[in-house]
Amino acid sequence: MSGKFYYAEIIAPGAALFDYDNDGDLDVYLVQGHMLGTGKPLPGATLSVAQDLSPALRGRLFRNDLVVNADGTRTLRFTDVTEASGIQAAGYGMGVATGDFNNDGCVDLYLTNLGSNQLFRNNCDGTFTDVSRESGTAGAPESAVKAVQPWSVSASFFDFDRDGWLDLFVGHYLDYRIDANTPCFSPSGRPDYCSPNVYRPQLSRLYHNNRDGTFTDVTVTSGIARDFGPALGVVAADFNGDRWADLYVANDGQPNQLWINQHDGTFKNTGLLSGAAMNAHGKAKAGMGVDAGDFDNDGDEDLLVSNLKGEGGDLYVNDGSGLFEEQSERSGLGFASLAYTGFGAAWVDFDNDGWLDTLIVNGAVQTIEALRAANDPFPLGQTKLLFRNLGNGRFEDVTRRAGRVFQTLDVSRGAAFGDVDNDGDIDVLVANNNGNVRLLINNVGNRNHWIGLRLVGRPVNRDMLGARVGIVREDGPTLWRRARADGSYGSANDPRVLAGLGQSSKPVRVRVVWPGGATEEWGDVAIDRYTTLKEGSGNAK
Amino acid sequence: MHLRCALCIVHCAFLLVTLSSCERPPQATAPAKASVRPVTLPDLSRMETSVQEQLRGAYAALTEKIAKWAPPAELAQAYGTLGNLFLAAEYLDAAESCYLNAETLAPTDVRWPYYLGHMYRTRGELENAAQSFQRALALQPADVATLVWLATVNLDRGRPDAAEPLFTQALSLQPRSVAALVGLGLAALARRDYGRAADSLEQALAIDPRASMAQYPLALAYRGMGNMERAEAHLRQRGTVEIGPADPLMQELGGLLHSAVAYENSGVRALDGGDWTAAAGFFRKGIELAPDRASLHHRLGTALSLAGNTPGAVEQFQDAVRLSPTFAQPHYSLGVLLAAAGRSPEAIDQFSAAVRYDPRYVEAHLQLAGLLQRTGRPDLALPHYVDVITIDPRDVSAQFGYAMALVQLKRYDEARARLTESQTLHPERPEFAQALERLRLLDPNTARK
């Protein structure tokens, strides 16, 4: 923190959970920033630092050296492999997205920045190559308006034209320059961080994968340019059940967009009529984190959006056709999250009971007076929230029972969700602004039965982001889940599907709707372990 | 710097947390018999001097009353006055203590639970807000504002059943209350009673069409009834104006804080409400406190310009430029006034300055391009149109202006290509087809293509 209240300081960072070395466990990428402004050295930061962190202040890659002991217990250890990996994150980091854009079976890394973005191609040997420029995804302006740098936070790899190659959507945020930083003040005249409406939103970008390592910017021709706001959260999913990937974009203080895929390379924003653009009162909220998931087990993708303090988180319930009803208050989510500024958020069945719960990490964006009065040098800290799905459309706030870490004040931003210790439940990597990252290990979920699936394409073992999985159960409704890495806030998640089965140990059938539209089924898939399902190896339906 | 690289592994273990206490600085505390909370002044050092003086004054008055063993009503007033300042300055914790004390000391004074309700609502504590408004309502059962706020809090708590009778009661007291009608519509919408929701929201909009935020729930009500056409029609009319209940107590609070920011905020609200004179008044008060703040001069110039006082506006815009030469907006505003006065060269200078200091200033690029075109320099206009199209491809006027500048330069093929592309991107806009038709008549080569 520079002490100058530069707006960009409070927006980052995100984090990624991804298996870069294909050894079967999730590695970690942490997004980093540095001191903003010219000429101010790190010791001039408003927060004291215990050691000289300057050399480390760029994005870091940690290899997961998970050891599964003979008794089944896990020993987690991470090794910083940044230098060996060749990843040189050059910008002031904001977020990260993951996906195998070149179909070589190794997951690649896209870094969003305040400034140009970077795409790192995974060389499948533990190293990465910066292909930002040749890929055409850096997002740098090409015209006379280059004086303003791009700024993006969340991005999503998804295959919008069903050609088997991952395309890329990059949500852009605001026009902002450090050298033209607008000073903002609280009503008492005290300097504080601005609100986003002080700056103009930037046009988000959609890149089409040319299948040769390059992308074409199709923002205008796809129709995506028709509507844009200050985008912070992005998630791709099939919202209207037509088996084509759509996009949902959460904007900060402006209506959110629901881009419905028109099957011809174009999208149409149906956000307003769909009912998912803002709350039922007609007020656009400060959308930050976002996720899509079938929380009510009716077979369609419902939306979760985290918002600013005083607004409450939003739950938009899908009727299956892409029309939504806001049920934030009715569900109890909105009311219980009112006092928090939410960022990273996801649908996550933390207790593996077969119902998607939700976890939201929080941190204010303007000074919390009580913390400032207590001499907190960075008075934006808030606790996290965990809501348990009661299976009746309502949620119970179980934060206080979830462990001490949930009561810790952090300025949380990104959150990446995945089974870090491969024990059958979802853990959470929380990226904090000006604070230690926290890895929350779930000790609850694996008390129930579960099924873990990795969905890979053919001929290459690429994670098939966007594939929908139906877990057909004898003693309950079919659970529909999705292979995804996007969602949350500036973060990348475990692409594997992990579905809780509760107390039931009965065998399940698995139905997969691949991103290309085809459906296959597998019978008697083993539970309480991970299974890889390869496209083309099941029974076609 | 926003992250220190250290992975700390935390096990979720379902443990309860104990809260730690914190030390407090010296406090003003009323006599023990009154069972009031201690109230402290927060760190005032980074506040505007005028606000510091206000808070110190109110705190000193309170301390004096405590020292003199003032009667409870007087003491309550002193706590409440300080609480109001804290609430206006967004020091909510301090405001809470003050109001709780005021209510304890003067339990029949409706103001303190009422303000507490608003304070809790701002803090996102809806249970406390509802309880506070409930206490205020008990003291003043026929107050429409209290009824509406309590109902709104209930709605936000997911209790439309509890909200509805309160909105209905408010309407029985004030049948044309837009806030109550909108609230009733929202409660009905939450219960999926789409017909009733549409009725209430239509009534609200008939009384005050400015309440454009209500268009969105109205659209959702029609969507719920299956009438997509009407839903889309109302979506097109949606806006951001929300009409609250008449609320003298909160209005009083709005003008309480003597700070440039508070006056600027009040001025902006007045501008949004179309009250140019009131807006100018607020901005002038802000300038008295912060004479060097360029944004206040620019806003005052805008208010004066809207009120028809062009010379006054020019003076303020020039002051803003003098105070902050790289502040693009006053350059733009000066450009607009100069262009309207027919002083094109000077206007071009100002617009050029605006885009120099803010290269993504769409409106300035458009004004500059238009003026360059009108003064016979379409070649110079082209790059500005390109900039706008790059920044915001939705901007139809830039696409059209670009094509027309090409026509002016007799670059008909390029103009035709541009118009055709724009027509494809914006099939709903007739001007591109019409321009293409005119171009066919104008250019024989185009006619043949």
| pLDDT tens track for A89-127 | 988 999 999 999 999 999 999 999 999 999 999 999 999
| Six-digit token string for B64 | 């004096």
Per-residue confidence band for B372, with pLDDT thresholds at 50, 70 and 90: very high
Cβ distance A493 to A485 under 8 Å? Answer: yes
* Distance separating alpha carbons of residues A208 and B23, to the nearest angstrom: 58
d(CA B371, CA B364): 10
Cα distance between residue B102 and residue B79, in whole Å: 5
The band of B26, judged by pLDDT with boundaries at 50, 70 and 90, is: very low
Is pLDDT of A250 > 70? yes
Q: Which residues of A48-74 are buried (b: 16+ CB within 10 A; e: fewer)?
A: eeeeebeebbbbbbbbbebeeeeeeee
Helix/strand/coil percent split, chain B, to 5: 70, 0, 25
- CB under 8 Å, gap of 24 or more: what pairs does B434-438 form? B435/B400, B435/B403, B435/B404
Q: Residue A459: what pLDDT? A: 84
Chain B partners within 8 Å of A323 (Cβ):
223
Q: Note whether B90 contacts A406, CB cutoff 8 Å.
A: no
Q: Which two tokens stand for residue A369?
A: 């007076």
Mean pLDDT, range B407-423, rounded to an integer: 92
Q: What does pTM read for this prediction? A: 0.92
Tell me if A339 and B190 make a contact (CB, 8 A cut-off).
no
Residue B80 has φ and ψ, to the nearest 5°, of -65, -40
pLDDT at B1 over 50: no
List CB contacts (< 8 A) between B5 and chain A: 30, 32, 53, 56, 60, 80, 437
CB atoms A372 and B360 under 8 Å = no
Q: What is the token pair recorded at A32?
A: 């980093």
**In this predicted structure, what is the pLDDT of residue B261?**
92
Q: How far apart are CA A535 and CA B422, in angstroms?
A: 42
Cβ separation A275–B16 shorter than 8 A: no
Span A62-87, mean pLDDT? 96
* Contact present, A420 and A17 (Cβ < 8 Å): yes
Judge: A186–B261 Cβ closer than 8 Å, yes or no. yes
> What single-letter DSSP state applies at residue B28?
B
Cross-strand pairs, A247: A236, A259
pLDDT in tens, A177-223: 888 788 898 889 888 899 999 999 999 999 999 999 999 999 989 99
**Under a CB-based contact definition with an 8 Å cutoff, are residues B92 and A369 in contact?**
yes
DSSP H helices, B174-274, are 178-190, 194-207, 215-224, 228-236, 248-254, 260-272
**Least confidently predicted of A166-170, A339-343, B185-189, B439-443:** B439-443
Q: How far is CA A494 from the centre of its chain?
A: 10
CB within 8 Å: B43 and A334: no
Q: Is the pLDDT of residue B7 over 70?
A: no
In this complex, the residue of B3, B43, B219 whose CB is nearest that of residue A32 is: B3
**Cross-strand bridge partners of residue A497:** A453
Nearest Cβ partner of A189 from B42, B260, B390? Answer: B260
Average of pLDDT values for B352-380?
A: 95
Mean pLDDT computed over every residue of chain A: 93
- Is A382 within 8 Å of A341 (Cβ atoms)? yes
pLDDT given at position A401? 94
pLDDT at B24: 39
In the predicted model, is pLDDT for residue A349 greater than 70?
A: yes
Q: How confident is the model at residue B425 (pLDDT cuts 50, 70, 90)?
A: confident
Tell if the CB–CB gap between A329 and B157 is shorter than 8 Å.
Answer: yes
CA-atom Rg of chain A in angstroms: 22
Is A415 in a helix, a strand, or coil? strand
Weakest mean pLDDT among A193-207, A410-424, A490-504: A193-207
Beta carbons of B333 and B339 less than 8 angstroms apart: no
Is B190 in contact with A330 (Cβ distance < 8 A)? Answer: yes
More confident site: A476 or B447:
A476
Contact between residue A454 and residue A531 where contact means Cβ atoms under 8 Å apart: yes
- Phi, psi for A93 (deg, rounded to 5): -70, 145
Provide mean pLDDT across the span A128-146: 80
Which residue of B4, B326, B359 is in closest CB contact with A148?
Answer: B359
Out of A145, A186, A310, name the one closest to residue B391 (CB): A145
As a whole number of Å, the CA-based R_g of chain B is: 29
- pLDDT bin (cut points 50, 70, 90) of residue B23 is very low
Please check the confidence at residue A514 and state whether its pLDDT lies above 80: yes
- B312's enclosing H/E stretch is helix B310-323
* Chain A residues with CB-CB distance to B197 below 8 A: none
Angle at which helix B362-374 crosses helix B378-391, to 10 degrees, equals 160
pLDDT given at position B16 = 24
Q: Are strands B3-11 and A435-441 parallel, antiparallel or unpaired?
A: parallel
Q: Percent of chain B beyond pLDDT 70?
A: 91
How would residue A47 be classed by pLDDT, with cut points 50, 70 and 90?
low
Among A233, A207, A237, A244, CA closest to A222: A207
**How far, CA to CA in Å, does A525 sit from each of A49, A497, A536, B67?**
51, 13, 16, 78
**Contact assessment for residue A495 and residue A487, using Cβ atoms and an 8 Å cutoff:** no
Q: Cβ contacts (< 8 Å) between B223 and chain A: which residues? A: 273, 275, 323
Chain A residue numbers with beta carbons less than 8 Å from the beta carbon of B89 are 186-188
Q: Which of A260-264, B273-277, B363-367 has the lowest mean pLDDT?
A: B273-277
Q: Which two tokens stand for residue A211?
A: 């299948």
**What's the pLDDT score for residue A149?**
83
Residue B191 Cα distances to A329, A330, B187, B203, angstroms: 12, 10, 6, 19
Token pair for A527: 């539970």
User: Is the Cβ pair B261, A62 closer than 8 Å?
Assistant: no
Q: Which pLDDT score is estimated for A39?
A: 62
Q: What are the Cα distances from residue B425, in Å, to A160, A225, B382, B428? A: 20, 10, 20, 9
Residue B421 has pLDDT above 90, yes or no: no
* DSSP SS3 for A134: helix
Degrees, nearest 5: CA angle A50-A55-A60: 100
Q: Is the dihedral of CA B68, B74, B79, B82 positive or negative?
A: negative
pLDDT at site A177: 84
Calculate ∠ Cα B384-B387-B390, nearest 5°: 155
SS3 letters for A236-265? EECCCCCCCCEEEEEEECCCCEEEEECCCC
Between residues B182 and A72, the one the model is more confident about: B182
Tell me, what's the pLDDT at B20? 28
Q: Answer whether B7 sits within 8 Å of A78, measured CB to CB.
A: yes
CA dist B363 and B268 (Å) reads: 20
ipTM value, please give it: 0.92
In whole angstroms, give the CA distance from residue B71 to residue B66.
Answer: 9
Quote the tokens at residue A251: 């904007």
pLDDT digits (tens, 9 = 90+) for A446-483: 899 999 999 999 988 899 999 999 999 988 899 999 99
What does the block give as tokens for B228?
């997509």
Taking the Cβ of residue A70 and every Cβ of chain B, the question of whether any pair is shorter than 8 Å is answered with no
Residue A75 confidence (pLDDT) above 60: yes
User: For residue range B245-285, what is the model confidence (pLDDT) as tens digits?
Assistant: 999 999 999 889 999 999 999 999 899 888 999 999 999 99
Residue B6 has pLDDT above 70, yes or no: no
- Of all residues in chain B, what percent carry a pLDDT higher than 90? 80
Question: Within an 8 Å CB–CB cutoff, is residue A32 touching chain B?
Answer: yes
Beta-carbon-side half-sphere exposure of residue A13 (alpha carbons within 13 Å):
33
Coil/strand/helix, residue B293: coil
The gap between the terminal CA atoms of chain A, to the nearest Å, is 56
Candidates A54, A142, A143, A145: best to mutate against B (most CBs of B within 10 A) is A145
Look at residue B30 and tell me whether its pLDDT is greater than 80. Answer: no
Fill in the amino acid letter for A104: D
The residue count of chain B comes to: 449
Which position has the higher pLDDT, A396 or B440? A396
CA dihedral A363, A369, A374, A379 (to 10 degrees): 30
- A364/A360 Cα distance (integer angstroms): 13
Q: What pLDDT score was predicted for residue A179? A: 80
Reported as type and span, the H/E element at residue A540 is strand A539-540
Predicted local confidence at residue B208, as pLDDT: 96
- Dig out the tokens for A336 from the structure: 């219980």
B14 with A401: Cβ contact below 8 A? yes
B328-362 pLDDT, tens digit per residue, is 999 999 999 999 999 999 999 999 999 999 988 99
For the stretch A141-166, pLDDT in tens is: 555 455 568 999 999 999 999 999 99
pLDDT, tens digit, 9 for 90 and up, residues B125-159: 999 999 999 999 999 999 999 999 999 999 999 99
pLDDT at residue A445 in the model: 86
What order of strands is seen across the sheet that includes strand A412-418?
A412-418, A427-432, A435-441, B3-11
pLDDT reading at B31 higher than 80: no
List CB contacts (< 8 A) between A227 and chain B. 394
- H helices of A248-327, in order, are 271-274
Q: What pLDDT does residue B5 have?
A: 38
The answer to whether the CB of A465 falls within 8 A of the CB of A166 is: yes
Q: In terms of DSSP H, where are the helices of A275-319?
A: none
Helix H, strand E, coil C: the string for B337-390 is HHHHCCCHHHHHHHHHHHHHHCCCCHHHHHHHHHHHHHCCCHHHHHHHHHHHHH
- In chain B, residues with a C-beta closer than 8 Å to the C-beta of A405 are 10, 12
* Residue A504 predicted with pLDDT over 70: yes
pLDDT of residue B366: 97
d(CA B202, CA B209): 9
Residue A60 touches partner B, C-beta closer than 8 Å: yes
Work out the pLDDT band at A45, boundaries 50, 70, 90. Answer: low
**Residue A139, pLDDT above cutoff 90:** no
For residue B27, CA distances in Å to A71, B42, B68, B228 come to 58, 11, 16, 61
